[in-house]
Structure 1
Amino acid sequence: MATTIDTIYTIWLREIKRFLKSKSRILGTGGQPLIWLAIVGVGFGSAIGVLAGGVSYITFMAPGIIGMTILFSSIFAGINVIYDKQFGFMKEILVAPVSRVGIVLGKIAGSATVSLISAITVLVIVILVGIIPVSSLTVAGLIEAVVFMVLTAAIFVSVGLVIATSINNMEGFQVIINFFILPLFFLSGALFPLTDAPLWMKAVSAVDPLRYGVDGMRGALIGTAAASYPLALDFVIILGVAVVLIAVADFAFRRMQAK
Protein backbone atom coordinates (compact mmCIF):
# COMPACT_ATOMS: atom_id res chain seq x y z
CA MET A 1 0.00 0.00 0.00
CA ALA A 2 1.31 3.40 -0.95
CA THR A 3 2.27 5.57 1.99
CA THR A 4 0.37 8.75 2.78
CA ILE A 5 3.37 10.85 1.68
CA ASP A 6 3.57 9.00 -1.65
CA THR A 7 -0.15 9.54 -2.23
CA ILE A 8 0.04 13.24 -1.36
CA TYR A 9 2.97 13.74 -3.74
CA THR A 10 1.35 11.83 -6.61
CA ILE A 11 -1.95 13.73 -6.37
CA TRP A 12 -0.11 17.04 -5.87
CA LEU A 13 2.02 16.44 -8.97
CA ARG A 14 -1.06 15.56 -11.02
CA GLU A 15 -2.74 18.86 -10.07
CA ILE A 16 0.39 20.83 -10.98
CA LYS A 17 0.71 19.10 -14.37
CA ARG A 18 -2.97 19.72 -15.03
CA PHE A 19 -2.45 23.44 -14.39
CA LEU A 20 0.68 23.67 -16.56
CA LYS A 21 -1.15 22.04 -19.48
CA SER A 22 -3.91 24.66 -19.37
CA LYS A 23 -2.59 27.70 -21.25
CA SER A 24 -5.80 29.64 -20.67
CA ARG A 25 -5.44 29.30 -16.88
CA ILE A 26 -1.81 30.36 -17.02
CA LEU A 27 -2.60 33.42 -19.15
CA GLY A 28 -5.54 34.32 -16.94
CA THR A 29 -3.39 34.19 -13.80
CA GLY A 30 -2.24 37.77 -14.16
CA GLY A 31 -4.79 39.08 -16.64
CA GLN A 32 -7.95 39.36 -14.54
CA PRO A 33 -6.23 40.90 -11.47
CA LEU A 34 -4.54 43.52 -13.64
CA ILE A 35 -7.87 44.46 -15.20
CA TRP A 36 -9.37 44.96 -11.72
CA LEU A 37 -6.39 47.07 -10.65
CA ALA A 38 -6.45 49.14 -13.84
CA ILE A 39 -10.19 49.82 -13.87
CA VAL A 40 -11.31 49.72 -10.23
CA GLY A 41 -8.00 50.73 -8.65
CA VAL A 42 -7.31 53.69 -10.91
CA GLY A 43 -10.97 54.69 -11.28
CA PHE A 44 -11.89 54.62 -7.60
CA GLY A 45 -8.42 55.79 -6.60
CA SER A 46 -8.86 59.09 -8.43
CA ALA A 47 -12.09 59.69 -6.49
CA ILE A 48 -11.04 58.36 -3.08
CA GLY A 49 -7.43 59.53 -2.98
CA VAL A 50 -5.37 58.72 0.10
CA LEU A 51 -6.78 56.58 2.90
CA ALA A 52 -6.00 56.61 6.61
CA GLY A 53 -2.34 55.96 7.28
CA GLY A 54 -1.28 57.76 4.11
CA VAL A 55 -1.89 54.72 1.88
CA SER A 56 -3.18 55.32 -1.65
CA TYR A 57 -6.36 53.49 -2.63
CA ILE A 58 -4.72 51.34 -5.30
CA THR A 59 -1.99 50.29 -2.84
CA PHE A 60 -4.65 49.45 -0.25
CA MET A 61 -6.52 47.45 -2.89
CA ALA A 62 -3.53 45.42 -4.13
CA PRO A 63 -3.54 42.80 -1.31
CA GLY A 64 -7.30 42.51 -1.83
CA ILE A 65 -6.75 41.64 -5.49
CA ILE A 66 -4.19 39.04 -4.46
CA GLY A 67 -6.85 37.65 -2.12
CA MET A 68 -9.35 37.65 -5.00
CA THR A 69 -6.89 35.71 -7.13
CA ILE A 70 -6.53 33.09 -4.41
CA LEU A 71 -10.30 32.90 -3.81
CA PHE A 72 -11.22 32.40 -7.46
CA SER A 73 -8.39 29.98 -8.19
CA SER A 74 -8.82 27.92 -5.02
CA ILE A 75 -12.55 27.48 -4.73
CA PHE A 76 -12.86 26.31 -8.33
CA ALA A 77 -10.52 23.43 -7.52
CA GLY A 78 -13.72 21.51 -6.92
CA ILE A 79 -14.23 21.50 -10.69
CA ASN A 80 -11.31 19.08 -10.98
CA VAL A 81 -13.06 16.71 -8.57
CA ILE A 82 -16.21 16.78 -10.70
CA TYR A 83 -14.17 16.11 -13.85
CA ASP A 84 -12.50 13.20 -12.06
CA LYS A 85 -15.93 11.83 -11.15
CA GLN A 86 -17.26 12.15 -14.68
CA PHE A 87 -14.26 10.49 -16.32
CA GLY A 88 -13.96 7.67 -13.79
CA PHE A 89 -10.63 8.68 -12.29
CA MET A 90 -12.16 9.36 -8.88
CA LYS A 91 -13.66 5.88 -8.74
CA GLU A 92 -10.27 4.37 -9.54
CA ILE A 93 -8.38 6.16 -6.81
CA LEU A 94 -11.12 5.55 -4.24
CA VAL A 95 -10.91 1.78 -4.71
CA ALA A 96 -7.11 1.77 -4.94
CA PRO A 97 -5.06 0.72 -1.89
CA VAL A 98 -3.93 4.25 -1.13
CA SER A 99 -4.37 6.55 1.85
CA ARG A 100 -7.69 8.40 1.73
CA VAL A 101 -6.21 11.20 3.82
CA GLY A 102 -3.37 11.37 1.31
CA ILE A 103 -5.82 11.86 -1.55
CA VAL A 104 -7.51 14.79 0.18
CA LEU A 105 -4.26 16.40 1.33
CA GLY A 106 -2.73 15.89 -2.11
CA LYS A 107 -5.64 17.65 -3.80
CA ILE A 108 -5.54 20.49 -1.27
CA ALA A 109 -1.76 20.82 -1.58
CA GLY A 110 -1.85 20.73 -5.39
CA SER A 111 -4.62 23.27 -5.81
CA ALA A 112 -3.19 25.50 -3.07
CA THR A 113 0.18 25.44 -4.86
CA VAL A 114 -1.50 26.54 -8.09
CA SER A 115 -3.25 29.36 -6.21
CA LEU A 116 0.03 30.35 -4.57
CA ILE A 117 1.75 30.54 -7.97
CA SER A 118 -1.06 32.80 -9.21
CA ALA A 119 -0.92 35.00 -6.10
CA ILE A 120 2.86 35.40 -6.19
CA THR A 121 2.67 36.27 -9.89
CA VAL A 122 0.25 39.10 -9.08
CA LEU A 123 2.39 40.20 -6.12
CA VAL A 124 5.51 40.43 -8.30
CA ILE A 125 3.61 42.45 -10.90
CA VAL A 126 2.21 44.98 -8.39
CA ILE A 127 5.68 45.41 -6.88
CA LEU A 128 7.36 45.87 -10.28
CA VAL A 129 4.87 48.53 -11.40
CA GLY A 130 5.15 50.35 -8.06
CA ILE A 131 1.63 49.76 -6.74
CA ILE A 132 3.13 48.27 -3.59
CA PRO A 133 6.23 50.38 -2.82
CA VAL A 134 9.46 48.46 -2.32
CA SER A 135 10.12 50.72 0.68
CA SER A 136 7.20 49.12 2.54
CA LEU A 137 8.51 45.58 2.05
CA THR A 138 10.65 43.51 4.39
CA VAL A 139 11.86 39.93 4.15
CA ALA A 140 9.79 39.03 7.22
CA GLY A 141 6.75 40.74 5.73
CA LEU A 142 7.06 38.84 2.45
CA ILE A 143 7.33 35.53 4.32
CA GLU A 144 4.30 36.43 6.43
CA ALA A 145 2.34 37.35 3.29
CA VAL A 146 3.15 33.98 1.70
CA VAL A 147 1.99 32.19 4.87
CA PHE A 148 -1.34 34.04 4.68
CA MET A 149 -1.60 33.16 0.98
CA VAL A 150 -1.07 29.46 1.67
CA LEU A 151 -3.60 29.34 4.52
CA THR A 152 -6.19 31.32 2.54
CA ALA A 153 -5.74 28.98 -0.42
CA ALA A 154 -6.08 25.90 1.82
CA ILE A 155 -9.36 27.26 3.20
CA PHE A 156 -11.04 27.86 -0.14
CA VAL A 157 -9.67 24.74 -1.81
CA SER A 158 -11.24 22.81 1.08
CA VAL A 159 -14.55 24.64 0.57
CA GLY A 160 -14.48 23.78 -3.13
CA LEU A 161 -13.76 20.12 -2.38
CA VAL A 162 -16.56 19.90 0.20
CA ILE A 163 -19.08 21.29 -2.30
CA ALA A 164 -17.80 19.08 -5.13
CA THR A 165 -18.13 15.88 -3.10
CA SER A 166 -21.91 16.24 -3.01
CA ILE A 167 -22.46 17.46 -6.59
CA ASN A 168 -22.01 15.45 -9.77
CA ASN A 169 -22.45 18.06 -12.48
CA MET A 170 -20.56 21.20 -13.41
CA GLU A 171 -23.64 23.40 -13.70
CA GLY A 172 -24.76 22.73 -10.13
CA PHE A 173 -21.28 23.41 -8.78
CA GLN A 174 -20.96 26.70 -10.64
CA VAL A 175 -24.39 27.90 -9.49
CA ILE A 176 -23.51 27.29 -5.84
CA ILE A 177 -20.04 28.80 -6.14
CA ASN A 178 -21.23 31.91 -7.99
CA PHE A 179 -23.85 32.45 -5.29
CA PHE A 180 -21.18 32.63 -2.57
CA ILE A 181 -18.02 33.86 -4.25
CA LEU A 182 -18.86 37.54 -4.85
CA PRO A 183 -20.31 38.15 -1.35
CA LEU A 184 -17.19 36.53 0.12
CA PHE A 185 -15.03 38.86 -1.96
CA PHE A 186 -16.91 42.13 -1.42
CA LEU A 187 -17.41 41.56 2.33
CA SER A 188 -13.72 40.79 2.89
CA GLY A 189 -12.58 44.40 2.83
CA ALA A 190 -10.59 43.64 -0.31
CA LEU A 191 -11.84 46.73 -2.17
CA PHE A 192 -12.67 49.19 0.60
CA PRO A 193 -12.13 49.67 4.34
CA LEU A 194 -14.94 48.36 6.51
CA THR A 195 -14.40 50.80 9.37
CA ASP A 196 -17.39 52.95 8.37
CA ALA A 197 -19.55 50.10 7.06
CA PRO A 198 -23.03 49.45 8.54
CA LEU A 199 -23.10 47.28 11.65
CA TRP A 200 -24.79 44.37 9.85
CA MET A 201 -22.07 44.38 7.19
CA LYS A 202 -19.33 44.35 9.82
CA ALA A 203 -21.05 41.43 11.55
CA VAL A 204 -21.31 39.40 8.34
CA SER A 205 -17.76 40.21 7.26
CA ALA A 206 -16.47 39.07 10.65
CA VAL A 207 -17.28 35.46 9.68
CA ASP A 208 -15.71 35.77 6.22
CA PRO A 209 -12.31 34.01 6.36
CA LEU A 210 -11.10 35.94 3.32
CA ARG A 211 -11.26 39.10 5.42
CA TYR A 212 -8.51 37.84 7.72
CA GLY A 213 -6.42 36.55 4.84
CA VAL A 214 -6.57 39.88 3.02
CA ASP A 215 -6.02 41.87 6.23
CA GLY A 216 -3.01 39.74 7.11
CA MET A 217 -1.47 40.22 3.67
CA ARG A 218 -2.20 43.94 3.85
CA GLY A 219 -0.47 44.26 7.22
CA ALA A 220 2.49 42.17 6.08
CA LEU A 221 3.02 43.94 2.75
CA ILE A 222 1.98 47.54 3.40
CA GLY A 223 2.20 47.95 7.16
CA THR A 224 0.01 47.59 10.21
CA ALA A 225 -1.44 51.09 9.70
CA ALA A 226 -3.34 49.74 6.68
CA ALA A 227 -4.64 46.66 8.52
CA SER A 228 -7.81 46.37 10.60
CA TYR A 229 -6.51 43.76 13.06
CA PRO A 230 -3.18 42.82 14.63
CA LEU A 231 -1.22 40.41 12.44
CA ALA A 232 -1.18 37.76 15.17
CA LEU A 233 -4.98 37.80 15.44
CA ASP A 234 -5.37 37.44 11.66
CA PHE A 235 -2.96 34.50 11.73
CA VAL A 236 -4.63 32.66 14.62
CA ILE A 237 -8.10 33.01 13.07
CA ILE A 238 -7.12 31.97 9.56
CA LEU A 239 -5.00 29.07 10.82
CA GLY A 240 -7.89 27.81 12.94
CA VAL A 241 -10.34 28.07 10.05
CA ALA A 242 -7.91 26.29 7.71
CA VAL A 243 -7.46 23.36 10.12
CA VAL A 244 -11.22 23.00 10.63
CA LEU A 245 -12.07 23.16 6.92
CA ILE A 246 -9.33 20.71 5.94
CA ALA A 247 -10.81 18.29 8.48
CA VAL A 248 -14.31 18.91 7.07
CA ALA A 249 -13.01 18.27 3.53
CA ASP A 250 -11.46 14.99 4.69
CA PHE A 251 -14.75 13.95 6.32
CA ALA A 252 -16.77 14.88 3.22
CA PHE A 253 -14.35 13.00 1.01
CA ARG A 254 -14.64 9.87 3.14
CA ARG A 255 -18.43 10.04 2.93
CA MET A 256 -18.24 10.38 -0.83
CA GLN A 257 -16.04 7.31 -1.24
CA ALA A 258 -18.35 5.27 0.99
CA LYS A 259 -21.33 5.75 -1.37
Structure 2
Amino acid sequence: MSTITTSDPTPGSTTASAGFAAAWMLARREWTRFFRQRNRVTAAIVQPLLFWLLFGTGLRGSFTGAGDQSFIEFFLPGTVGLILLFTAIFATISVIEDRREGFMQSVLVSPVGRWPVLAGKVLGGSAIAWVQALFFLLLVYVFGAATVGWTIVPLMLLLAIVAAGMCSLGMIVAWPMDSTQGFHAIMMLGLMPMWLLSGSFFPIPAWSDSSFGQMILGGIMRINPLSYAMVEMRRLIYPEVDFSAAGFAPSSMVCWSVTLLATIVISILAWRLVRGSRSVDVLV
Protein backbone atom coordinates (compact mmCIF):
# COMPACT_ATOMS: atom_id res chain seq x y z
CA MET A 1 0.00 0.00 0.00
CA SER A 2 1.38 3.36 -0.95
CA THR A 3 1.12 6.27 1.39
CA ILE A 4 0.69 9.86 0.42
CA THR A 5 2.80 12.28 2.33
CA THR A 6 2.15 15.96 2.46
CA SER A 7 4.83 18.48 3.23
CA ASP A 8 4.08 21.60 5.11
CA PRO A 9 5.06 24.88 3.47
CA THR A 10 8.46 26.13 4.44
CA PRO A 11 8.54 28.71 7.22
CA GLY A 12 10.24 31.19 4.92
CA SER A 13 7.51 31.09 2.27
CA THR A 14 4.79 31.28 4.92
CA THR A 15 6.41 34.32 6.54
CA ALA A 16 6.89 35.99 3.16
CA SER A 17 3.25 35.47 2.16
CA ALA A 18 2.13 36.77 5.54
CA GLY A 19 4.39 39.78 5.09
CA PHE A 20 2.89 40.60 1.70
CA ALA A 21 -0.60 40.21 3.15
CA ALA A 22 0.30 42.56 6.02
CA ALA A 23 1.77 45.13 3.62
CA TRP A 24 -1.38 44.99 1.48
CA MET A 25 -3.55 45.37 4.56
CA LEU A 26 -1.62 48.45 5.68
CA ALA A 27 -1.86 49.93 2.18
CA ARG A 28 -5.63 49.38 2.13
CA ARG A 29 -5.83 50.95 5.58
CA GLU A 30 -4.21 54.11 4.19
CA TRP A 31 -6.79 54.21 1.40
CA THR A 32 -9.69 53.71 3.81
CA ARG A 33 -8.39 56.39 6.14
CA PHE A 34 -7.92 58.81 3.25
CA PHE A 35 -11.42 58.46 1.77
CA ARG A 36 -13.10 58.60 5.17
CA GLN A 37 -11.58 62.04 5.76
CA ARG A 38 -13.61 64.04 3.26
CA ASN A 39 -11.95 67.33 4.13
CA ARG A 40 -8.59 65.75 3.30
CA VAL A 41 -9.90 64.52 -0.05
CA THR A 42 -11.24 67.98 -0.88
CA ALA A 43 -8.05 69.76 0.19
CA ALA A 44 -5.88 67.33 -1.79
CA ILE A 45 -7.69 68.26 -5.00
CA VAL A 46 -8.73 71.87 -4.50
CA GLN A 47 -5.58 73.31 -2.89
CA PRO A 48 -3.13 72.45 -5.72
CA LEU A 49 -5.73 73.51 -8.27
CA LEU A 50 -6.09 76.90 -6.58
CA PHE A 51 -2.31 77.32 -6.41
CA TRP A 52 -2.01 76.54 -10.09
CA LEU A 53 -4.78 78.91 -11.13
CA LEU A 54 -3.84 81.78 -8.79
CA PHE A 55 -0.09 81.77 -9.40
CA GLY A 56 -0.52 80.94 -13.07
CA THR A 57 -2.99 83.74 -13.67
CA GLY A 58 -1.22 86.32 -11.49
CA LEU A 59 2.21 85.79 -13.04
CA ARG A 60 1.03 85.11 -16.58
CA GLY A 61 2.27 88.41 -18.00
CA SER A 62 5.63 88.43 -16.21
CA PHE A 63 7.01 85.15 -17.51
CA THR A 64 7.79 83.61 -20.88
CA GLY A 65 9.29 80.14 -20.99
CA ALA A 66 10.55 77.85 -23.72
CA GLY A 67 8.25 77.72 -26.70
CA ASP A 68 6.55 80.94 -25.52
CA GLN A 69 5.03 79.15 -22.55
CA SER A 70 3.06 81.22 -20.09
CA PHE A 71 3.59 80.76 -16.37
CA ILE A 72 0.37 78.76 -15.99
CA GLU A 73 1.82 76.23 -18.46
CA PHE A 74 5.27 76.29 -16.89
CA PHE A 75 3.86 75.83 -13.37
CA LEU A 76 1.70 72.83 -14.29
CA PRO A 77 4.40 70.17 -13.65
CA GLY A 78 5.33 71.98 -10.44
CA THR A 79 1.72 71.72 -9.27
CA VAL A 80 1.77 67.98 -9.92
CA GLY A 81 4.96 67.76 -7.87
CA LEU A 82 3.25 69.74 -5.11
CA ILE A 83 0.43 67.18 -5.03
CA LEU A 84 2.96 64.38 -4.55
CA LEU A 85 4.72 66.36 -1.81
CA PHE A 86 1.59 67.12 0.21
CA THR A 87 0.42 63.53 -0.08
CA ALA A 88 3.77 62.26 1.22
CA ILE A 89 3.43 64.54 4.25
CA PHE A 90 -0.12 63.47 5.13
CA ALA A 91 0.43 59.78 4.35
CA THR A 92 3.52 59.30 6.50
CA ILE A 93 2.31 61.36 9.46
CA SER A 94 -0.01 58.44 10.20
CA VAL A 95 3.07 56.57 11.46
CA ILE A 96 3.19 58.85 14.50
CA GLU A 97 -0.57 58.58 15.04
CA ASP A 98 -0.49 54.78 14.78
CA ARG A 99 2.29 54.62 17.35
CA ARG A 100 0.31 56.77 19.81
CA GLU A 101 -2.80 54.65 19.36
CA GLY A 102 -0.85 51.42 19.95
CA PHE A 103 -1.54 50.07 16.47
CA MET A 104 2.10 50.29 15.38
CA GLN A 105 3.35 48.32 18.38
CA SER A 106 0.96 45.46 17.59
CA VAL A 107 2.26 45.35 14.03
CA LEU A 108 5.92 45.46 15.04
CA VAL A 109 5.62 42.50 17.43
CA SER A 110 4.00 40.29 14.78
CA PRO A 111 6.10 37.54 13.16
CA VAL A 112 6.05 39.17 9.71
CA GLY A 113 8.82 41.60 10.61
CA ARG A 114 9.19 45.27 9.88
CA TRP A 115 9.38 45.49 6.12
CA PRO A 116 5.57 45.24 5.63
CA VAL A 117 5.21 48.47 7.62
CA LEU A 118 7.45 50.35 5.21
CA ALA A 119 6.02 48.64 2.13
CA GLY A 120 2.42 49.20 3.19
CA LYS A 121 2.89 52.85 4.06
CA VAL A 122 4.83 53.62 0.88
CA LEU A 123 2.50 51.61 -1.35
CA GLY A 124 -0.64 53.14 0.14
CA GLY A 125 0.67 56.71 0.22
CA SER A 126 2.20 56.64 -3.26
CA ALA A 127 -0.97 55.10 -4.73
CA ILE A 128 -3.06 57.90 -3.22
CA ALA A 129 -0.63 60.49 -4.59
CA TRP A 130 -0.65 58.84 -8.01
CA VAL A 131 -4.45 58.89 -8.22
CA GLN A 132 -4.59 62.52 -7.10
CA ALA A 133 -2.04 63.55 -9.72
CA LEU A 134 -3.93 61.59 -12.38
CA PHE A 135 -7.23 63.24 -11.47
CA PHE A 136 -5.61 66.68 -11.55
CA LEU A 137 -4.11 66.01 -14.98
CA LEU A 138 -7.48 64.84 -16.25
CA LEU A 139 -8.97 68.18 -15.19
CA VAL A 140 -6.12 69.96 -16.93
CA TYR A 141 -6.70 67.99 -20.14
CA VAL A 142 -10.45 68.63 -19.99
CA PHE A 143 -9.88 72.41 -19.73
CA GLY A 144 -7.42 72.24 -22.64
CA ALA A 145 -4.31 73.44 -20.78
CA ALA A 146 -2.39 70.47 -22.21
CA THR A 147 -3.00 67.84 -24.85
CA VAL A 148 -3.28 64.09 -24.32
CA GLY A 149 -0.78 61.94 -26.22
CA TRP A 150 1.26 58.78 -26.00
CA THR A 151 3.49 60.43 -23.39
CA ILE A 152 0.75 59.96 -20.78
CA VAL A 153 1.97 56.37 -20.23
CA PRO A 154 5.60 57.19 -19.29
CA LEU A 155 4.32 60.22 -17.39
CA MET A 156 2.18 58.01 -15.15
CA LEU A 157 5.16 55.71 -14.57
CA LEU A 158 7.35 58.68 -13.66
CA LEU A 159 4.74 59.98 -11.21
CA ALA A 160 4.58 56.56 -9.53
CA ILE A 161 8.37 56.51 -9.06
CA VAL A 162 8.47 60.06 -7.67
CA ALA A 163 5.54 59.35 -5.35
CA ALA A 164 7.29 56.27 -3.94
CA GLY A 165 10.46 58.27 -3.36
CA MET A 166 8.57 61.06 -1.62
CA CYS A 167 6.73 58.67 0.68
CA SER A 168 9.98 56.86 1.52
CA LEU A 169 11.53 60.20 2.38
CA GLY A 170 8.55 60.96 4.57
CA MET A 171 9.04 57.65 6.37
CA ILE A 172 12.66 58.57 7.11
CA VAL A 173 11.46 61.72 8.86
CA ALA A 174 8.38 60.25 10.56
CA TRP A 175 9.78 56.98 11.88
CA PRO A 176 12.02 58.33 14.70
CA MET A 177 9.63 61.15 15.70
CA ASP A 178 6.96 61.27 18.37
CA SER A 179 5.53 64.73 17.67
CA THR A 180 3.26 65.63 14.78
CA GLN A 181 4.17 69.30 15.20
CA GLY A 182 7.87 68.54 14.89
CA PHE A 183 7.17 66.33 11.89
CA HIS A 184 5.32 69.11 10.08
CA ALA A 185 8.11 71.58 10.88
CA ILE A 186 10.85 69.33 9.53
CA MET A 187 8.88 68.28 6.46
CA MET A 188 8.03 71.85 5.53
CA LEU A 189 11.59 72.97 6.21
CA GLY A 190 13.02 70.17 4.09
CA LEU A 191 10.49 69.25 1.42
CA MET A 192 9.25 72.72 0.51
CA PRO A 193 12.76 74.03 -0.35
CA MET A 194 13.35 70.76 -2.19
CA TRP A 195 10.26 71.41 -4.28
CA LEU A 196 11.02 75.11 -4.82
CA LEU A 197 14.63 74.34 -5.84
CA SER A 198 13.60 71.76 -8.43
CA GLY A 199 12.65 74.14 -11.21
CA SER A 200 8.97 73.77 -10.40
CA PHE A 201 8.24 77.40 -9.55
CA PHE A 202 11.04 79.18 -11.44
CA PRO A 203 13.49 77.98 -14.09
CA ILE A 204 16.92 76.65 -13.20
CA PRO A 205 19.34 79.43 -14.16
CA ALA A 206 21.83 78.68 -16.90
CA TRP A 207 25.56 78.83 -16.21
CA SER A 208 26.07 81.47 -18.88
CA ASP A 209 25.16 85.06 -18.12
CA SER A 210 24.65 84.28 -14.42
CA SER A 211 25.83 86.18 -11.40
CA PHE A 212 27.72 84.49 -8.58
CA GLY A 213 24.56 84.06 -6.52
CA GLN A 214 22.66 82.60 -9.48
CA MET A 215 25.51 80.17 -10.13
CA ILE A 216 25.32 78.92 -6.53
CA LEU A 217 21.53 78.64 -6.78
CA GLY A 218 21.83 76.83 -10.10
CA GLY A 219 24.36 74.40 -8.63
CA ILE A 220 22.09 73.57 -5.70
CA MET A 221 19.16 73.03 -8.06
CA ARG A 222 21.24 70.72 -10.25
CA ILE A 223 22.19 68.61 -7.22
CA ASN A 224 18.52 68.24 -6.28
CA PRO A 225 17.33 64.89 -7.74
CA LEU A 226 13.77 66.21 -7.97
CA SER A 227 14.97 68.70 -10.59
CA TYR A 228 15.57 65.87 -13.06
CA ALA A 229 12.13 64.41 -12.48
CA MET A 230 10.63 67.86 -13.01
CA VAL A 231 12.50 68.33 -16.30
CA GLU A 232 11.28 64.98 -17.61
CA MET A 233 7.75 65.63 -16.35
CA ARG A 234 7.67 68.93 -18.18
CA ARG A 235 9.00 67.24 -21.32
CA LEU A 236 6.30 64.54 -21.19
CA ILE A 237 3.44 66.98 -20.57
CA TYR A 238 4.58 69.26 -23.41
CA PRO A 239 6.33 66.96 -25.93
CA GLU A 240 6.01 69.55 -28.69
CA VAL A 241 8.18 72.11 -26.84
CA ASP A 242 11.97 72.12 -27.24
CA PHE A 243 13.32 72.74 -23.74
CA SER A 244 16.99 72.46 -24.73
CA ALA A 245 17.07 76.18 -25.52
CA ALA A 246 15.79 77.06 -22.02
CA GLY A 247 19.04 76.24 -20.22
CA PHE A 248 19.06 73.20 -17.96
CA ALA A 249 17.54 70.32 -19.95
CA PRO A 250 19.38 67.00 -19.49
CA SER A 251 18.45 64.05 -21.68
CA SER A 252 15.58 61.73 -20.85
CA MET A 253 18.02 58.94 -20.02
CA VAL A 254 19.78 61.12 -17.46
CA CYS A 255 16.49 62.25 -15.92
CA TRP A 256 15.11 58.73 -15.61
CA SER A 257 18.40 57.36 -14.26
CA VAL A 258 18.73 60.05 -11.57
CA THR A 259 15.08 59.69 -10.54
CA LEU A 260 15.27 55.90 -10.28
CA LEU A 261 18.60 55.97 -8.44
CA ALA A 262 17.37 58.58 -5.96
CA THR A 263 14.18 56.60 -5.26
CA ILE A 264 16.15 53.38 -4.71
CA VAL A 265 18.67 55.06 -2.39
CA ILE A 266 15.94 56.77 -0.35
CA SER A 267 13.97 53.52 -0.09
CA ILE A 268 17.07 51.64 1.12
CA LEU A 269 17.76 54.30 3.73
CA ALA A 270 14.15 54.14 4.90
CA TRP A 271 14.34 50.34 5.15
CA ARG A 272 17.57 50.45 7.14
CA LEU A 273 16.04 52.98 9.51
CA VAL A 274 12.83 50.99 10.01
CA ARG A 275 14.75 47.75 10.49
CA GLY A 276 17.48 49.07 12.75
CA SER A 277 15.71 51.57 15.00
CA ARG A 278 14.38 49.84 18.12
CA SER A 279 13.99 52.83 20.41
CA VAL A 280 10.95 54.08 18.49
CA ASP A 281 9.01 50.93 19.32
CA VAL A 282 8.25 52.24 22.80
CA LEU A 283 7.61 55.87 21.91
CA VAL A 284 4.22 57.11 23.00
In structure 1, what residue type is equivalent to 2:136?
Answer: V
Q: Count residues in correspondence.
A: 254
Q: TM-score, normalised by structure 1?
A: 0.92
Name the structure 2 match of 1:138.
Answer: 149
2:115 is equivalent to residue 101 of structure 1: yes
Name the structure 2 match of 1:25.
Answer: 40
RMSD: 1.7
2:52 is equivalent to residue 52 of structure 1: no
Name the structure 1 match of 2:252.
Answer: 231
SS at match of 2:204: coil
2:276 is equivalent to residue 255 of structure 1: yes
CA contact 2:92–2:125 (8 Å) conserved in 1: no
The equivalences for 1:1-259 within 5 A come to: 1=15, 2-48=17-63, 50-132=64-146, 134=147, 137-139=148-150, 141-196=151-206, 198-223=214-239, 225-226=242-243, 228-257=249-278
1:230 and 1:54 map into 2 onto residues whose CA distance is 21
2:228 and 2:112 map into 1 onto residues whose CA distance is 35
Give the deviation of 1:57 after TM superposition: 2.2
2:113 and 2:25 map into 1 onto residues whose CA distance is 12
2:158 and 2:138 map into 1 onto residues whose CA distance is 16
SS at match of 1:53: helix
Q: TM-score, normalised by structure 2?
A: 0.84
In structure 2, what residue type is equivalent to 1:47?
Answer: S
In structure 2, what residue type is equivalent to 1:231?
Answer: S
SS at match of 2:111: coil
Q: Which has the larger radius of gyration?
A: 2
In structure 1, what residue type is equivalent to 2:126?
Answer: A
CA contact 2:61–2:70 (8 Å) conserved in 1: no
1:119 and 1:221 map into 2 onto residues whose CA distance is 13
1:142 and 1:169 map into 2 onto residues whose CA distance is 39
* 1:25-49 residue CA offsets vs partner (Å, 9 max, x unmatched): 111122111111221111111222x
1:9 and 1:97 map into 2 onto residues whose CA distance is 16
* 1:151-183 residue CA offsets vs partner (Å, 9 max, x unmatched): 111111111111111111111111111211221
Give the deviation of 1:257 after TM superposition: 4.2
1:207 and 1:158 map into 2 onto residues whose CA distance is 19
CA contact 1:142–1:220 (8 Å) conserved in 2: yes
2:270 and 2:117 map into 1 onto residues whose CA distance is 11
CA contact 1:111–1:157 (8 Å) conserved in 2: yes
CA contact 1:94–1:257 (8 Å) conserved in 2: no
Which region of structure 1 is more displaced relative to structure 2, 119-128 or 227-236? 227-236
* 1:175-197 residue CA offsets vs partner (Å, 9 max, x unmatched): 11121122112111112211347
Give the share of equivalent positions with the same residue, in percent.
26
CA contact 2:205–2:215 (8 Å) conserved in 1: no
